[in-house]
């Protein structure tokens, strides 16, 4: 839908096509893997296996439909829009006469040295297709003068496969300008145009692109931490050779060509999925923009916070009141300043932090290393099971360990997804009154903070710091209990706490009082929570959900008539999780790291924090109301779980929530 929004700049629309392709690849590598694992597990019942097979059939049918729509839109809309802005993306290996010599020369000098063709023979698997890579498969016949020296089976075609060397050459190759037009060419099309150089003894019949999505999911049910680390690293490496879940091929490839490949590469035909001529379109995000800023989204500059800028100490500011940081509307620099101040303040004794996804060359990590070198005790809980970031997290943890930072790795059966920083100061009575904390809905990652919308609160409230310190203690020990009164923590009191607050709204509604819930999250999947919301709706509670991703709750049913679901997709990725309870007019607000997914509530350590500062609470509530009023980028989710734009709801004024929230924070 976003790619088709003609009000967006062209390269913003292209970005959303890239995001779709990337999300689809991850879906096959993990979600489809879960169904395939049911089929091969010995303990699975036949009924479960049949259900999994039916689900896979439905998935492939729907994905094939979507991919055809994607390809048609890309060819018929995006390419035309590019041309309208004087950007010509060649659709195949044929180029204009004025580019032929350049393409030939570029190929010989920049591409040919990196090609590694391998023959593909039936019954002899000599090649292996890695996941997340693009390959060319070529069918050819020996030229007549060479047939007498070729292998037996004269007259039969030869098949070769070779990887497109994307690490050595760009996916989109810029060609010389001509008549005020800019020209781009897919790397694979340039290779196709020059196959006679690669295979001089053959007549090339045809060439197509293929790729494979491999099973990337794994479970590590081990207790010993070091063994856990070793097993995670070993399984991450195995992802590259996991079972093929999807073999994607150019839909123009003949059936016999495809069957030859499947047999030779050991891929079952039911895992084949046709796509357009060009695959691996996650790379669209890398397409050069020779025209410039006019075709891209112009995002506002992150806001400065005058109270921090006018004070020499962030600690001094938050000693007097809680402070809100809302990224990417406001600058991430303030969190770095918070950590740097902790690193150099003589009164700070210890820093504790959870790290789920670590940025490369991270300023956050650099601050922690500085703290350790300045004699602070620094403890970082590193989640090695953060999907796709396992190796980067391990490498960063090794760097921190060498600097003297105490590293605590994953809990074997739980992911730690909570986002917390604790800065403990020296005191005579060993109390926590002069300590500070950061509580967040998102990762401490300066890279994602430029595109993910998240909320952080800096505080020195003793009640929260005491319970955070207890939670860190539990993480360090790997077990234990603690009667949290203010924090909600999964595995302890979060589900019971949310249940009690929703039941309070239900009772108020039944008593004829106003009752309302506003719940913002990335995903809603957990059956218990969904049924709880259905109960609230039937009791008359007004329920507004803001759900960016997967949502399994069905609105507009007799049992959900009081539930409305809003989805917002805009320039920033909506990532913050916020829970609002009307609470008889007291208006309670929690920010949290937890989505209402099975994995979040049952297999992770998540936290939810009460927002007690009235001013911050009002800012957050106002932000929720703005998002519910969005009629530019927001959709309703209907009873069929389709997205229905709210644009028709423009009665008094146009509301684009992300832009309005920025302006609201600017005027605070």
d(CA 526, CA 602): 10
**CB-based contacts of 643, cutoff 8 Å, min separation 6:** 1, 567, 635, 636, 637
Least Cα distance to 458 among 449, 468, 450, 448 occurs for 468
Dump strand ranges (E) for 548-655: 563-568, 573-574, 577-581, 588-592, 604-605, 607-610, 634-637, 643-645
Contact in structure between 659 and 629 (CB atoms under 8 Å): no
DSSP state, residue 268: -
Structure tokens at 661: 């929230």
Contact in structure between 478 and 334 (CB atoms under 8 Å): no
CA distances 538 to 344, 516, 528, 532, 596, Å, are 55, 13, 15, 10, 20
d(CA 458, CA 101): 61
CA distances 643 to 3, 55, 550, 611, 659, Å, are 14, 22, 12, 31, 21
Which of 35, 280, 326, 417 is flagged as catalytic?
417
Structure tokens at 419: 């986002």
Least Cα distance to 40 among 266, 243, 278 occurs for 243
- Respond yes or no: is residue 99 known to be catalytic: no
d(CA 303, CA 552): 36
Least Cα distance to 111 among 194, 183, 185, 175 occurs for 194
Q: How many CB atoms lie within 10 A of CB 352?
A: 24
Radius of gyration of the chain (CA): 28
Structure tokens at 234: 């070993």
d(CA 88, CA 84): 9
Contact in structure between 215 and 240 (CB atoms under 8 Å): no
Task: Give the residue numbers marked as catalytic.
Answer: 417
């Amino acid at each position: 839908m976003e790619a088709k929004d003609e009000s967006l700049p062209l390269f913003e629309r292209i970005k959303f096509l890239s995001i779709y392709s990337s999300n689809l690849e991850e879906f096959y590598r993990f979600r489809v893997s879960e169904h395939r694992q049911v089929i091969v597990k010995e303990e699975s019942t036949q009924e479960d296996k049949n259900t999994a097979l039916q689900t896979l059939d439905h998935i492939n049918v729907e994905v094939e439909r979507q991919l055809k729509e994607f390809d048609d839109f890309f060819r018929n809309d995006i390419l035309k829009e590019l041309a309208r802005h004087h950007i010509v993306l060649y659709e195949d290996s044929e180029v204009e006469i004025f580019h032929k010599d350049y393409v030939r020369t570029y190929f010989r000098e920049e591409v040919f040295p990196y090609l590694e063709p391998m023959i593909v023979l039936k019954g002899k698997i000599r090649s292996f297709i890695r996941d997340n890579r693009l390959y060319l498969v070529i069918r050819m016949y020996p030229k007549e003068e060479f047939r007498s020296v070729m292998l037996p089976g004269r007259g039969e075609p030869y098949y070769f496969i070779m990887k497109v060397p994307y690490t050595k050459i760009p996916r989109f190759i810029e060609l010389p300008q001509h008549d005020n037009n800019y020209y781009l060419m897919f790397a694979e099309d340039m290779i196709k145009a020059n196959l006679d150089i690669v295979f001089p003894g053959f007549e090339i019949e045809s060439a197509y692109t293929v790729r494979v999505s491999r099973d990337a999911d794994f479970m590590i049910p081990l207790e010993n931490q070091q063994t856990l680390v070793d097993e995670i690293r070993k399984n991450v490496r195995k992802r590259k050779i996991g079972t093929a879940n999807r073999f994607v091929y150019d839909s123009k490839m003949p059936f016999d060509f495809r069957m030859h490949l499947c047999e030779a590469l050991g891929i079952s035909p039911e895992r084949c999925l046709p796509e357009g001529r060009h695959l691996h379109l996650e790379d669209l995000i890398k397409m050069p923009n020779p025209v410039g800023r006019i075709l891209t989204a112009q995002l506002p500059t992150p806001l400065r916070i005058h109270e921090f800028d006018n004070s020499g100490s962030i600690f001094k500011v938050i000693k007097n009141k809680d402070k809100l940081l809302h990224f990417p509307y406001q600058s991430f620099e303030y969190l770095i300043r918070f950590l740097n101040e902790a690193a150099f303040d003589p009164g700070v004794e210890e820093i504790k932090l959870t790290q789920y996804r670590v940025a490369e060359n991270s300023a956050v990590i650099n601050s922690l290393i500085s703290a350790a070198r300045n004699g602070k005790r620094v403890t970082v809980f590193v989640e090695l099971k953060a999907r796709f970031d396992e190796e980067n997290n391990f490498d960063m943890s090794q760097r921190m360990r060498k600097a003297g930072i105490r590293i605590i790795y994953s809990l074997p059966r739980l992911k730690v997804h909570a986002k917390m920083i604790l800065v403990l100061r020296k005191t005579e009575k060993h109390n926590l009154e002069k300590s500070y904390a950061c509580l967040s809905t998102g990762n401490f990652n300066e890279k994602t903070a430029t595109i993910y919308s998240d909320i952080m609160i800096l505080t020195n409230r003793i009640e929260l710091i005491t319970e955070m310190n207890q939670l860190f203690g539990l993480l360090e020990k790997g077990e234990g209990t603690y009667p949290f009164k203010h924090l909600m923590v999964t595995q302890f009191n979060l589900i019971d706490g949310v249940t009690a607050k929703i039941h309070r709204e239900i009772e108020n509604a039944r008593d004829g009082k106003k009752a309302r819930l506003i719940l913002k999250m990335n995903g809603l999947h957990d059956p218990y929570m969904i049924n709880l919301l259905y109960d609230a709706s039937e009791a008359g509670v007004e329920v507004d959900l803001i759900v960016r991703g997967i949502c399994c709750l069905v609105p507009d049913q007799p049992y959900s008539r009081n539930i409305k679901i809003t989805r917002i997709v805009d320039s920033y990725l909506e990532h913050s999780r916020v829970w609002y309870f009307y609470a008889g007019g007291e208006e309670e607000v929690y920010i949290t790291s937890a989505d209402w997914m099975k994995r979040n509530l049952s297999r992770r350590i998540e936290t939810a924090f009460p927002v007690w500062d009235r001013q911050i609470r009002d800012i957050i509530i106002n932000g929720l109301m703005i998002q519910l009023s969005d009629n530019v980028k927001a959709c309703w989710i209907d009873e069929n779980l389709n997205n229905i734009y709210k644009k028709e709801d423009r009665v008094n004024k146009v509301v684009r929530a992300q832009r309005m929230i920025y302006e609201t924070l600017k005027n605070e």
